[in-house]
Structure 1
């Protein structure tokens, strides 16, 4: 706290007035052009337009010629005599071009040098590297996110950041909280990868605008905008294991101000595969239908912009023994099986207004209404949860005197109605955990940015919740560039959340474990809410090596839990216990990352990660986190040939992941044949993909995952006696299926 006070006392030193040129860049239809380049001639002072087409760049009497450029448009040079506001419209470049060779391509993953938060952006080119079929599978090439399998039944990827699982992340869709509550286990698998335009990954406690729940970080994915979408897009995918997917997008400009897109996605998995010969399916049989209609309204002259999203999704999974037939074997001891059926309906809206004569001032309203219903069983265990949610967020942005000092204020409200029933082994009556959660909060965030080497974001919010009480959430982010090519960031913040212990730990339903809850008198399952502080330090240095660009980043983050809901799988292999922390719990994360442009169009990314994560368990003392490798190494090599006439091009991508040994849950009191030891072995996986573009509108890709064919042979404990006392499908530390190859095509009409 004393550091924050010192920063506030020194703040006036940094708040020296600086004049700027502000403006907006529009296309031929007077629509905003995000990503347009703005640079002072013969200088390195540059910026780019944001989503609404606006920009801001420092002004100096030494600089008079401002260059504005955008791909496909004629570059304009403006003579600027004084600080002013510019409303500039670019003209399309209609010249017929021959062969075009780009000397430098935009990085598929970018880390901002000027943002106060430690945020990296995965663009559409990055998302296509692994032919990701849903967002949960799109992080294989991102070193900041760890991707693990949650169990040996569903094949679902579980993501982690800073060593903590996804419930400690705030996962948002276009800054509206999306994966939470009932959707924690499978929510990211319900978002097709081809629908996504970009993903922003923020380490540490993020801004307070979106809520108070984030502890280890925030993930925000942006969907393709109707105004920018292709009239038609098709992606077809087929993979080993009988997995097939089809994605189509249709976009139409209805009028000068209205555009709409229809997204349709379907996938199925029809093959029964048991590569490790344990009698269980390595991947579930599955089918999903997912449809979304998206509308966008823009009136740039009057400053209005709006989005309306309507979505329906139905997902069905069948897992268990190869010979399991649900019509014949459900709730019998003939064969062990599981079904997970989910229906989702989502409606969200965004309405924003930007003052035409004051582009730095805006007001926006976000709303979302969701219905999520999951009915599932795992052998004789049953878990049903239905969630009806409403969310509203009102934000006002403006400046204090000048654009060096910005602020945002607002209020949001959330409502969740849960209908939750849990049946554990032959308990015919089950347990009901029906409830209503609601909260109302206000927030304020101040940003100082001198448009050069220093920026500060200081935010706070105050919320009142029927489940969490009344509480405050402070957050701080600071960025300082000690020299032109170096960036230092510091962050600190607090997060608070209520743990949905069953929805977040569904992997334990596929076992013979009993569920024990030790009440602390709290308002959710008898447990008190989780509270944690996150502190972070990051430094990035760019430097040349043999006249090529290199980037080195070191991150260190620490999460300290004041209170935590402990998920205890160490006390007994036949039980999972939930209780509040009595002692210490922390997570230290160190990441060293080196990126290098080896040659033109040939980039290498490497990262080493070290985790020190420990929790005090009741009567056991401090133990490291289970199923979490202390040491991880990541490497990605990407090469692209020149783009030849007509859009012909080859792309090659290779990703290597090495995971050190992992602490395993306790199985020592089981009979010898049902024990797994204390640690897993270290292992590595290798993924590769080759893409060939025949033209700018058609391409094919082939690839392989886990090419080294590493498999965890004992993925299911007690597979020979699935109705016995030692059966457990949750002890997964590595791949189950082994190597997998796939192929697909993409076609679009521009």
Structure 2
């Protein structure tokens, strides 16, 4: 008996002595994390030092340890001490060191970057990158990145979309704090209602993404991460004015609430006041609309989702906006519906709310509930056409996260709801227009999903495999499989691949606003079905260092193959816009090559090249889709002085020629070339910092390039050839601006 007890004691002792702790070391960058190869991990009492390998993994022996505290360190980050509770796997995240330089605090000198931890290729646009331009709204936050191309969808009201892989913005999913808040009626002007001052990070993914947020992303995903109440500045003020006279005012404040200091709240206010009436090209139309906007946003956060127990986020937002565009003499309320003076008038109110609740039972089990809802009431006039839109949306997602071994399983249920009612009428009878009436678009989609993340070979290989089953209220079940793979050859080279499907319901008038502005008749040849597509892609990222220079080179290829697609056909007849499904061959092939060089932490040089081949085949003939430059170049240079007081930024964009809609059936004065001219835009900005104050000034489109005659039949807007669908370049010329920021940390 004693011998058996002694052997058991020896075995247990041997097991304890041979115990190995395994884990990963990360560095915090905004809301993103990166692995820290070369970091060190050791027991606080000393002993062998574990060096973090190229995949961020470390192993630490627990032989004879009595002082059970671990110290993790990496240059440029604050060391952290962690109490060890016997777990065999640890995930440690370090925070960057803040350095005070003559009153100016610098917490992160890196601009936009490609995430090293994400399985899919994820581009992170952080606050430092956003400071390189005025970034008045979300559409203006991509001037130094090449993956996203803002595109004007209506020149008169200046509605915009964000294109990825040369495809319309409807094919990439826009999320706000991980929730699908931009859809239907909110799509038309939604991205412009988010000022840059409430942005913490923007995450851009091309191609296939996770099934957790839904089935809609086809070309990619843009996730707007708003400011965090527990990390935001206590007070931030931002005032901006441009040479057209448009004014932007922003104010936000954050504070802790409650005795236990677990509640944090952020309140942000935003206002835009209209510009002067400017007609720089003398075509009789305003170069930019008269915009009036008021926005209030309140965000609450409770606890931390990395700690056991309950954590929560809540958000409330309200937007009121009015846009007036058209002929310079158009006066909005007084001229709405006039057949003598042409103009467009848009007014809407949009309340939104969301909630995210997490309950962490342990390191291995988390239950998460996310819900959101919005309403949108819009009244608009497009010449003599009156448009009324009413929309209600809701979304709910319940999921369970479970770690098993080194892997992570997420599964759950979701429900999407949309009720969109649109009313179109003409105050002046026009027998050539046959599309007046009421339109009802409904969406009722329950769904189930599951996604597993596999980690192999010390995280050299990470695979995400997921699938969804969703039931459309009319079209039945849709199966959406998606997979993403990352292979880290070493700390310098990362290869990625992805493949998956997506589908989406069409919201015709909100997603194609320009069709209501044209003199063309809208002809429906059949009922529109949901669009379906498959996307696959591969990428390689190479990170390197040479002395004080750090660099990143990246190349990717993505292809989108549609099974069913919709696009308004402007080529069939110059007097019509034909609405029909297209189930023939439709492809998008996109290549992008990026280079980033950072010299001595002060000078950043970025360059990118895009190649796009976006086409469909009609009767065996390849037809290139309009408004996509075959080749595009982007370059950006940013320089900061050592004390961070002065900063200079320049970015330039070159666009190759694009195919344009066919207008050869029009009379000679109203014809346009079959393709655009190549052109270049250059933007500059300078920033000066004084402790809590920042002054910035810049110029966009410094060479004053304008597309000639962007509006067809501008001299006769009520005539049969008036058309806004051939806009492909800048239309308002050079723009100067000045702004000031005041911040209390």
TM-score relative to the length of structure 2: 0.88
* CA distances 1:509-543 after superposition (whole Å, capped 9, x unpaired): 22211111111xxxxxx111111000101111123
Structure 2 match to 1:169: 172
Q: Is the 8 A contact 2:154 2:513 kept in 1?
A: no
1:578 matches 2:583: no
Give the Cα separation in 1 of the matches to 2:519 and 2:702: 33
Deviation at 1:91, TM superposition (A): 12
Structure 2 match to 1:553: 554
Q: Is the 8 A contact 2:549 2:599 kept in 1?
A: yes
Q: Is the 8 A contact 1:236 1:247 kept in 2?
A: yes
Structure 2 match to 1:726: 721
Question: Of residues 439, 444, 451 in structure 2, which corresponds to 1:438?
Answer: 444
Kindly report the root-mean-square deviation, in angstroms, between the aligned alpha carbons of the 2 structures: 3.2
1:637 matches 2:637: yes
Do the aligned partners of residues 142 and 24 (structure 1) sit closer, same or farther apart at CA in structure 2, a change above 3 Å counting?
closer
Deviation at 1:384, TM superposition (A): 2.1
3-state secondary structure, aligned to 1:600: coil
Give the Cα separation in 2 of the matches to 1:260 and 1:252: 6
* CA distances 1:300-341 after superposition (whole Å, capped 9, x unpaired): 765221111111110000000001123443222221011011
Deviation at 1:78, TM superposition (A): 6.2
Give the Cα separation in 1 of the matches to 2:216 and 2:91: 39
Give the Cα separation in 2 of the matches to 1:211 and 1:505: 23
Q: Is the 8 A contact 2:20 2:62 kept in 1?
A: no
Structure 1 match to 2:15: none
Structure 1 match to 2:328: 322
Question: Of residues 223, 226, 240 in structure 1, which corresponds to 2:226?
Answer: 223
Give the Cα separation in 1 of the matches to 2:702 and 2:311: 47
Deviation at 1:468, TM superposition (A): 3.6
Give the Cα separation in 2 of the matches to 1:338 and 1:121: 37
Give the Cα separation in 2 of the matches to 1:368 and 1:205: 24
Q: Is the 8 A contact 2:21 2:88 kept in 1?
A: no
Question: Of residues 717, 725, 732 in structure 2, which corresponds to 1:737?
Answer: 732
Deviation at 1:613, TM superposition (A): 0.6
Instruction: Please list, as runs of the form range in 1=range in 2, the aligned pairs for 1:82-161 lying within 5 A after superposition.
Output: 84=88, 105-161=108-164
Structure 1 match to 2:351: 345
Give the Cα separation in 1 of the matches to 2:565 and 2:611: 22
Do the aligned partners of residues 454 and 328 (structure 1) sit closer, same or farther apart at CA in structure 2, a change above 3 Å counting?
same
Do the aligned partners of residues 327 and 452 (structure 1) sit closer, same or farther apart at CA in structure 2, a change above 3 Å counting?
closer
Q: Is the 8 A contact 1:582 1:616 kept in 2?
A: no
Give the Cα separation in 2 of the matches to 1:214 and 1:272: 39
Q: Is the 8 A contact 1:170 1:214 kept in 2?
A: yes
1:310 matches 2:316: yes
Question: Of residues 485, 491, 494 in structure 2, which corresponds to 1:487?
Answer: 494
* CA distances 1:79-124 after superposition (whole Å, capped 9, x unpaired): 9798646799999999x97759999954211212232111111111
Q: Is the 8 A contact 1:589 1:610 kept in 2?
A: yes
Q: Is the 8 A contact 1:148 1:734 kept in 2?
A: no
Give the Cα separation in 1 of the matches to 2:341 and 2:329: 7
Give the Cα separation in 1 of the matches to 2:414 and 2:147: 29
Structure 2 match to 1:507: 514
Q: Is the 8 A contact 2:156 2:288 kept in 1?
A: yes
Give the Cα separation in 1 of the matches to 2:77 and 2:439: 58
Structure 2 match to 1:657: 653
Instruction: Please list, as runs of the form range in 1=range in 2, the aligned pairs for 1:491-640 lying within 5 A after superposition.
Output: 491-519=498-526, 526-545=527-546, 548-617=549-618, 621-640=621-640
Q: Is the 8 A contact 1:22 1:84 kept in 2?
A: no
Instruction: Please list, as runs of the form range in 1=range in 2, the aligned pairs for 1:679-694 lying within 5 A after superposition.
Output: 679-694=675-690
Question: Of residues 371, 377, 383 in structure 2, which corresponds to 1:373?
Answer: 377
Question: Of residues 414, 422, 425 in structure 2, which corresponds to 1:423?
Answer: 425
Question: Of residues 365, 368, 371 in structure 2, which corresponds to 1:364?
Answer: 368
Do the aligned partners of residues 192 and 662 (structure 1) sit closer, same or farther apart at CA in structure 2, a change above 3 Å counting?
same
Give the Cα separation in 2 of the matches to 1:21 and 1:261: 34
3-state secondary structure, aligned to 2:129: helix
Give the Cα separation in 2 of the matches to 1:608 and 1:292: 37
Instruction: Please list, as runs of the form range in 1=range in 2, the aligned pairs for 1:236-275 lying within 5 A after superposition.
Output: 236-255=239-258, 256-275=261-280
Do the aligned partners of residues 704 and 678 (structure 1) sit closer, same or farther apart at CA in structure 2, a change above 3 Å counting?
same
1:203 matches 2:206: yes
Give the Cα separation in 1 of the matches to 2:96 and 2:183: 43
Q: Is the 8 A contact 1:238 1:743 kept in 2?
A: yes
Deviation at 1:545, TM superposition (A): 4.8
Give the Cα separation in 1 of the matches to 2:105 and 2:138: 30
Give the Cα separation in 1 of the matches to 2:580 and 2:409: 40
3-state secondary structure, aligned to 2:197: helix
1:748 matches 2:740: no
Do the aligned partners of residues 548 and 43 (structure 1) sit closer, same or farther apart at CA in structure 2, a change above 3 Å counting?
farther
Give the Cα separation in 1 of the matches to 2:329 and 2:686: 37
Q: Is the 8 A contact 1:237 1:744 kept in 2?
A: yes
The answer to which of 536-545 and 369-378 deviates more is 536-545
**Structure 1 gaps, min length 5:** 1-16, 27-31, 49-55, 520-525
The answer to which of 559-568 and 324-333 deviates more is 324-333
- How many aligned positions are there? 705
* CA distances 1:630-675 after superposition (whole Å, capped 9, x unpaired): 11000011111112xxxx5111111100000010101001111101
1:704 matches 2:714: no
Q: Is the 8 A contact 1:247 1:265 kept in 2?
A: yes
1:476 matches 2:483: yes
Structure 2 match to 1:13: none
Give the Cα separation in 2 of the matches to 1:625 and 1:396: 42
Structure 2 match to 1:464: 471
Deviation at 1:597, TM superposition (A): 2.0
Deviation at 1:185, TM superposition (A): 1.7
**Structure 2 gaps, min length 5:** 1-18, 42-48
Do the aligned partners of residues 66 and 550 (structure 1) sit closer, same or farther apart at CA in structure 2, a change above 3 Å counting?
farther
Q: Is the 8 A contact 1:195 1:224 kept in 2?
A: yes
Structure 2 match to 1:523: none
TM-score relative to the length of structure 1: 0.88
Q: Is the 8 A contact 1:36 1:69 kept in 2?
A: no
Give the Cα separation in 2 of the matches to 1:146 and 1:322: 29
The answer to which of 107-116 and 217-226 deviates more is 107-116
Structure 2 match to 1:393: 397
Q: Is the 8 A contact 1:437 1:467 kept in 2?
A: no
Do the aligned partners of residues 88 and 725 (structure 1) sit closer, same or farther apart at CA in structure 2, a change above 3 Å counting?
closer
Structure 1 match to 2:189: 186
3-state secondary structure, aligned to 1:502: helix
3-state secondary structure, aligned to 2:249: strand
Do the aligned partners of residues 620 and 154 (structure 1) sit closer, same or farther apart at CA in structure 2, a change above 3 Å counting?
farther
Give the Cα separation in 2 of the matches to 1:88 and 1:561: 43
3-state secondary structure, aligned to 2:239: strand
Which has the greater radius of gyration? 2
Q: Is the 8 A contact 2:161 2:191 kept in 1?
A: no
